[in-house]
Amino acid sequence: MLEVEFNGKEDFRIPSGRPAEMIIILKNRSGNKEKVGMSVESDLHMKNMDLEWRLEIEGAAKEKIDLLVTKDENHVVTLEAEIPKNRNKDIFIRITSPKASEIGDYAVFRIGVSNNVSWSKEVKIMIESAIIAVKTSIGQEVHVARDIAMRAKIKSIKEIYAVLAPYNLKGYVFVETSRPDKILSLIRGIKGAKGVVRGEMKMEDIRHYLTPAPAVTRMAKGDIVELVEGPFKGEHARVIDIDEAKNEITVELFEAMVPIPITVKAEAVRVIERGDENGTGS
């Protein structure tokens, strides 16, 4: 009796040049050695149909199978595996997307197992962008982001889709790309760029940087602020009231002859000292 267990995802979303990995576990529950037939069939959908996918299968045969899959060849791979009685055999499958593939390209691989049972699994691999974090010198984030974007434009690297320097994150810049392998060479020589953080992120990992909380949520009554806009620019004041619905705060100027409350937008001030509602600084 043969049992088949699939360890992996059926829907991979990866940047170009990255592998999708899975394990097929063949379990022989009989008292006899079993011969198992396996097949891997590919169905490619790409803007450039001349690109090659790489298919690696390890554990099924004595030697590792390493093939290039294109529109013209290796669309169906068949092989046989032997499983000793009452033993398991792990088949490792790695499918690597072409480095030059584009967002929206995808491939479907149908994996089949035949013996006294018939088992199949369809795995879809879709090319999408990834977020790469670039380390920078503190205070150089905006300059590094600008230079990355400019260099990508000059070099006509169309796989760089966006560059982000979050105002509330120091020492890092995010680059959205479908070609993570190009980032290290792209930043080489850019002043303030210190390297690339290993690994990739998804958009949801940085979404909170794209929609930061309103400025008013970062303030409290009693905070000491400096006005950075309007007729009182440069003056210091204390926060005496907060209206989160309108994103406004009410302050009292320190230098005013008469303490008259002034209501301003939260973005019109910057906090210079944390305080408390009793009017003392931290």
Sketch the domain layout of the chain as residue ranges.
2-127, 130-210, 215-273
How much is the pLDDT for 278?
A: 57
How much is the pLDDT for 280?
A: 52
106-114 vs 118-127, strand pairing mode:
antiparallel
The angle subtended at Cα 18 by Cα 14 and Cα 23, nearest 5°, is 85
When pLDDT is cut at 50, 70 and 90, the band that residue 281 belongs to is low
How much is the pLDDT for 214?
A: 76
First to last CA, the chain: 73
**Any idea which of 35-39, 190-194, 239-243 has the lowest mean pLDDT?**
35-39
Q: 256 in helix, strand or coil?
A: coil
Largest CA distance in the chain: 98
Q: Domain 215-273 is in which class? A: mainly beta
Instruction: Please compute Rg for the chain using Cα positions.
Output: 29
Looking at domain 130-210, which CATH architecture does it have?
A: 2-Layer Sandwich (3.30)
**Topology of the domain covering 2-127:** Immunoglobulin-like (2.60.40)
- Phi, psi dihedrals of residue 19, rounded to the nearest 5°: -90, 150
By the 8 A CB rule, do 148 and 186 touch?
Answer: yes
Tens-digit pLDDT profile for residues 113-150: 987 778 999 999 999 999 999 999 999 999 999 999 99
The closest alpha carbon to 234, from 187, 268, 199, belongs to 268
DSSP string, 187-235: HTT-TTEEEE-SS-B-HHHHHHHHSPPPGGGG--TT-EEEE-SSTTTT-
| Threshold 0.85, pTM exceeds | no
How much is the pLDDT for 44?
A: 94
